[in-house]
Amino acid sequence: MKITDASVYPYPAGDSTLARMALEAAELGFDSIVAVGEIRSQPSGIKILRGAVINAASHKEVIKRVRDPAVRRADVVFVNAGDISFNRAVVSVNEVNVVRNIHAARRNAFDHVAARTAADRGVAVDISLAPIIQFRGTKRQKALQRYADILSLQRRYGFPLTISSDARSIMEQRSVREVRSLCALFGMTGVEVSDALASVGRLTEPELPVKVVA
Amino acid sequence: MRAKRRYILARILPYGVAVDQRQAYFSVIEAATSLLGDAAVGLAQPAVVFCEGGYIVVRCRRGTEKDIATALATITTIADERAALRTVATSGTIHALRRRMRPIRPLSEAGEAQVGETYFTVYRYPRQKVDLVEKGIKHQKSLFFTEADLEER
């Protein structure tokens, strides 16, 4: 079972190079990370997956963007969440793996219809730790509330969750133990956190039925 | 009756940053209060008892150490400088935590490097880690590379 940080933004988007972030992630207990942006080399130590983020205003734009060569090369395709109709539509796009930025969406923007479709199609919802770590006051309360709502939908419909640090620096990366305690703030249990940390592995290498070849 | 205490050892990031104990205390209290609220922090009684050599020891009442460790994970600045605390261990004695402290010092003398238009001082650490600190007096930009990244440039 791989323990994956579902998105980090290495240099030049952040202040730490991919190799340094990989080194830190390994020390923090992760065995793979999803790096968003250009990956020129594959540092040794832990597995690096390529991630692409689509920020689109409409469902049609998402369908157009998933055909971009950069997105097609990616191991994990993220789409930023939008309004209720956008989210319902985007979870049924084949190439989309994860819906992210859910803390910034309106309440109920990811509803039971989107949850059921996500569960059927194996599309994950990302829990970003950045708002919990970096925000203060009402902004953080709102993010925790959104995550609690998502968690209750996940318990009911069973769609995958991923957990990301959204780190742009090694200072924003957190250890697996810290991830557990931060996720406990909105009611996630240790087992659910372990499951969510292993979700990226299941998205990129889905379990297929056994084929009898002879 | 004297309450039982727990001590949390955390490593300060970035390496080599000199942190004042008083400023560290303010950051811990701010993070804990904003996350847990005044009532919970009042009961936990967190205090910084040690801040040296890249490590910090935070004291709290027994039973609240998980909450305080969570709050430590939300620290992003100390004295207006970017910083982070990585929890290493929790114990009932400072003596036990001292055994877990491994001083993190630069490997060799500081060098110099240019990234874009900016000049940086280079600090090398074990495991091929290289920290670049912008030359200046205050609020310098930092970059975190590895030896290989620096050679590639």
DSSP 8-state secondary structure symbol assigned to residue A76: E
- A42 pLDDT band, cuts 50/70/90, is confident
CB contact under 8 A, A19 and B76: no
A112/B105 Cα distance (integer angstroms): 53
Residue A210 lies in a domain: no
**What pLDDT digit, counting tens, does each position of A127-182 carry?**
999 999 999 999 999 999 999 999 999 999 999 999 999 999 999 999 999 999 99
Residue numbers of the domain that contains A62 = 4-204
Residue B99 in tokens = 């055994």
Residue A212 lies in a domain: no
Start-end of CATH 3.30.70.3250 domains in chain B: 5-98
**Percent of chain A at pLDDT above 70?**
100
Most distant pair of Cα atoms in chain B: their distance: 61
Residue A214 lies in a domain: no
B5-98 is classed CATH 3.40.50.720? no
* A contact test, residue of B65, B102, B149 with most A CBs within 10 A: B149
- Note whether B29 and B145 are within 8 A (CB): no
Return the CATH number at A121. 3.20.20.140
ipTM for this model: 0.92
A80/A62 Cα distance (integer angstroms): 10
* B contact test, residue of A8, A11, A15 with most B CBs within 10 A: A15
Q: Select the residue of A20, A133, A136 nearest B146 (Cβ to Cβ).
A: A20
Q: How far A13 CA sits from the closest chain B CA (Å)?
A: 12
Number of separate domains in chain A: 1
Q: What is the Cβ-side half-sphere exposure of residue A214, based on CA atoms within 13 angstroms?
A: 0
* CB count in 10 Å sphere of residue A141: 11
Which of B66, B69, B84 lies closest to B24, judged by CA?
A: B84
Residue A209 lies in a domain: no
Per-residue pLDDT of chain B (153 residues; tens, 9 = 90+): 788 999 999 999 998 888 999 999 999 999 999 999 999 999 999 999 999 889 999 999 999 999 999 999 999 999 999 999 999 999 999 999 999 998 888 887 778 888 888 899 999 998 889 999 988 877 788 999 999 888 887
Q: Select the residue of A19, A171, A175 nearest B148 (Cβ to Cβ).
A: A19
Task: Return the SS3 of A28.
Answer: coil
**What pLDDT digit, counting tens, does each position of A168-183 carry?**
999 999 999 999 999 9
Residue A213 lies in a domain: no
Predicted pLDDT of residue A1: 66
